[in-house]
DNA sequence: ATGGTTGTTCCACAA
């Protein structure tokens, strides 16, 4: 019964005690981190090794950075999203864990709209769609999880009006999200909780957003059709967000049967 | 309309 979790930790070194405590208690088989905010050599690999994890780290100085941790052996497939050799940002990791392809990703934020950052986001989403298409065509069962930096609908944000000019809600971004899902992928949380409301995964540090429960749902676990059939449960664990020195995101996990 | 917060790095930028 493999347990997979994704968590934008907003600096793995600043978050280390909290993340180690959570990982040691919940013991996910597969753990995907985003925004590790360190170079590969600075990742606290030994601390996670002592919890039983092997690490595949895609680091970058100061910004971004993703990691894939697994309690069972894996084979690295890629440390960059295909489709643009000039893209140097550390936002993508892909590996085979047993017979499942696991992808961890940190999709570009894209703010402010109308800038090169927004164009980069749209291009990145098109490349992600191409990657998903390719895996589906090959019949490879896969999980695609992480911080997607997309607010898919107005139900996924505490105040849609306040986010009308935000990159995360733009019509082009929502169209690309739907194109990705309409390839045949399933939002694991939505499958398990079709009536859920205010299932936020992110609360800003500013303006007392956590205390007032003003959040966004932007962290997702997407499953290819064969894996969606094996989904047992998916949940957002809000507990870590309430701790001292919390990340602004909280973990999302899912369980698949054998 | 503005400011509110956090992390990293260097005195700004990204979120």
A206 touches strand B (CB under 7 A): yes
**In the prediction, which pLDDT does A55 show?**
98
**Residue at minimum CA to C1' distance from nucleotide B10:** A62
**Residue at minimum CA to C1' distance from nucleotide B8:** A62
* HSE, side-chain direction, 13 A CA sphere, residue A142: 24
Question: Average pLDDT per run of 10 along chain A, which is 258 residues long?
Answer: 95 98 98 98 98 98 97 98 97 97 98 96 98 98 98 98 97 98 98 97 97 98 98 98 97 96
What distance in Å separates the CA atoms of residue A14 and residue A134, rounded to the nearest whole number? 37
Nucleotides of B under 7 A from a protein CB: 3-9, 14-15
Q: Which domain holds residue A70?
A: 3-256
* Model pTM score: 0.97
Count of domains observed in chain A: 1
- The 10 Å Cβ neighbour count of residue A25 is 8
A49 touches strand B (CB under 7 A): no
Angle in degrees, 0-180, between the axes of helices A171-181 and A116-138, rounded to the nearest 10: 10
Going by the DSSP 8-state scheme, the letter that residue A111 receives in this structure is P
Going by the DSSP 8-state scheme, the letter that residue A203 receives in this structure is E
């Amino acid at each position: 019964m493999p347990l997979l979790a994704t968590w934008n930790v907003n600096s793995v070194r600043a978050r280390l005690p909290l993340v180690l405590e959570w990982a040691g208690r919940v013991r996910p088989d597969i753990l995907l981190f985003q925004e590790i905010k360190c170079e590969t050599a600075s990742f606290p690999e030994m601390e996670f090794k002592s919890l039983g994890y092997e690490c595949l780290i895609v680091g970058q100085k100061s910004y971004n950075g993703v990691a894939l941790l697994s309690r069972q052996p894996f084979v690295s497939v890629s440390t960059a999203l295909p489709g643009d050799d000039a893209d140097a940002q550390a936002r993508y990791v892909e590996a085979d864990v047993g017979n499942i392809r696991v992808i961890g990703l940190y999709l570009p934020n894209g703010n402010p709209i109308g800038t090169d950052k927004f164009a980069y986001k749209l291009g990145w989403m098109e490349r992600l769609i191409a990657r998903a298409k390719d895996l589906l065509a090959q019949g490879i069962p896969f999980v695609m999880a992480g911080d997607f930096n997309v607010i898919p609908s107005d139900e996924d944000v505490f105040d849609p009006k306040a986010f009308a000019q935000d990159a995360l809600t733009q019509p082009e971004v929502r169209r690309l999200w739907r194109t990705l899902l309409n390839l045949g992928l399933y939002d694991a949380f939505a499958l398990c909780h079709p009536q859920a409301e205010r299932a936020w995964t992110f609360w800003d540090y500013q303006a007392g957003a956590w205390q007032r429960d003003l959040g966004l749902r932007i962290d997702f676990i997407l499953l290819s059709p064969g894996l969606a059939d094996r989904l047992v449960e998916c949940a957002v664990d809000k507990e870590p967000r309430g701790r001292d020195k919390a990340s602004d995101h909280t973990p999302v996990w899912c369980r698949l049967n054998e």
